[in-house]
């Protein structure tokens, strides 16, 4: 376990907002996590486990210990039909995808350039271009820091939903994702139905082509957190009934929608925000990205309050225009507990 003397959180979350924590420590193995939870120096402190902090907004100084998951390691085994990966929770997600592509192991390429660590991926059930983590996840290994036991949850037990999982609910506190298992078929079946990947010919497209295309698309439309602070997609794409969609189409015939089931469709939150004329809209140092309205950015001087006020303005604008309630995908952290935009006083 490594205790960091600099307690500024800006380098440890992709929004890069200048807030502090009482303590920041690195956990490089399971014993480190157990030690932190049972060490008298940390007993009475709130604890937050972070990978790259790519889906976090610290709303104020954190009055607890931030624990950086740095458990590494990729183990590859094979069956007659599949590649099986066991990956440490502290591994970088995009580098894992690249590692697979370099070895001609397909299945993760649509999820390229999603920021964050492997241990965070099941929490959000990350997804892009027609692929979600639940489609490739075989199991998740979880440490119960109280009993000091590791339990393996198969994909079904993870209760994956749209940007949701059991790790946001029953296993939210006192449980650490230490490793994730993936089962990837040796016979690769490209997922290219989503625009703009549908430009490729299913019969001739290569794994490298899909990977390169996803990287190019994301780099063109999304700001690099290393250059412009952001947490990726700030809002979830809202799911509404087809009945509600029929009413919206009357006034907005070009509204994009994607089927979810027989009763519901998913709307593009970025499109809704764009229709409110909010691309480039700015409050203080927080700005709606000019190319992708789904992303709120820190142009270098944003405070947490700037981002909160901008998020609230976006939510109110979409509600006024479309009567649709946007929900933020980014996790909001208060002084010692996770919170929500609706719970923060204006």
For the question of residue 233 being annotated catalytic, the response is: yes
CB hemisphere CA count around 309 (13 angstroms): 14
- Looking at the DSSP bridge assignments, the partners of residue 269 are none
Q: Give φ, ψ of 78 to 5 degrees.
A: -135, 145
- Pairing assessment for the beta strands 21-27 and 62-69 based on DSSP bridges: parallel
| CA atoms of 130 and 180, how far apart (whole Å) | 21
Q: In b/e form, how buried is each residue of 128-161, taking b as 16+ CB within 10 angstroms? A: bbebbbbbbbbbbbbbebeeeeeeebebeebbbe
DSSP state of 101: H
Catalytic entry in 46, 317, 329, 331: 329
CB 214 within 8 A of CB 109: yes
CB 90 within 8 A of CB 179: no
In order of 144, 223, 246, 310, the CA distances from 172 in angstroms are 11, 29, 37, 28
CB 302 within 8 A of CB 231: no
* Residue count (the chain): 346
| CA atoms of 295 and 235, how far apart (whole Å) | 8
For the question of residue 327 being annotated catalytic, the response is: no
- CA-nearest of 147, 151, 167 to 159 is 167
For the question of residue 218 being annotated catalytic, the response is: no
| Rounded-to-5 percentages of helix, strand, coil across the chain | 30, 30, 40
| CA atoms of 227 and 16, how far apart (whole Å) | 10
Catalytic entry in 46, 54, 233, 317: 233
Catalytic entry in 54, 70, 132, 163: 163
- Catalytic residues, which ones? 163, 233, 329
């Amino acid at each position: 376990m490594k205790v960091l003397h600099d307690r500024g959180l800006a380098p440890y979350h992709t929004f890069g907002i200048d807030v502090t924590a009482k303590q920041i420590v690195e956990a490089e193995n399971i014993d480190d996590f157990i030690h932190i939870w049972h060490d008298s120096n940390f007993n009475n402190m709130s604890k937050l486990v972070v990978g790259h902090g790519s889906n976090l907004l610290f709303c104020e100084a954190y009055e607890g210990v931030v624990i950086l998951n740095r458990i590494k390691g990729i183990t590859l085994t094979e069956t007659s039909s599949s590649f099986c990966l066991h990956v440490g929770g502290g591994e970088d997600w995009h580098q894992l995808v690249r590692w697979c592509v370099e070895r001609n192991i397909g299945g993760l390429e649509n999820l390229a350039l999603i920021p964050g660590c492997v241990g965070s991926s099941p929490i959000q059930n990350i997804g892009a271009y027609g692929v979600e983590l639940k489609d490739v996840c075989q199991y998740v290994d979880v440490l119960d820091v109280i009993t000091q036991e590791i339990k393996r949850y198969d994909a079904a037990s993870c209760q994956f939903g749209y940007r949701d999982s059991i790790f946001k609910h029953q296993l939210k506190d006192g449980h650490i994702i230490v490793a994730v298992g993936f089962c990837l078929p040796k016979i690769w079946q490209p997922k290219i139905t989503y625009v703009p990947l549908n430009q490729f010919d299913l019969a001739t497209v290569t794994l490298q082509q899909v990977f390169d295309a996803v990287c190019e698309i994301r780099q063109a439309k999304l700001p690099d957190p290393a250059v412009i602070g952001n947490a990726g997609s700030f809002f979830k794409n809202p799911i509404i009934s087809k009945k509600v969609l029929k009413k919206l189409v009357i006034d907005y015939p070009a509204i994009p929608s994607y089927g979810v089931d027989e009763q519901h469709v998913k709307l593009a939150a970025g499109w809704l925000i764009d229709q409110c004329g909010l691309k480039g809209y700015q409050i203080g140092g927080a700005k709606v990205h000019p190319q992708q309205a789904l992303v709120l950015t820190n142009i270098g001087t944003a405070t947490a309050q700037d981002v909160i006020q901008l998020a609230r303005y976006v939510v109110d604008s979409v509600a006024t225009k479309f009567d649709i309630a946007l929900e933020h995908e980014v996790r909001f952290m208060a002084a010692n507990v996770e919170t929500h935009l609706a719970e923060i006083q204006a």
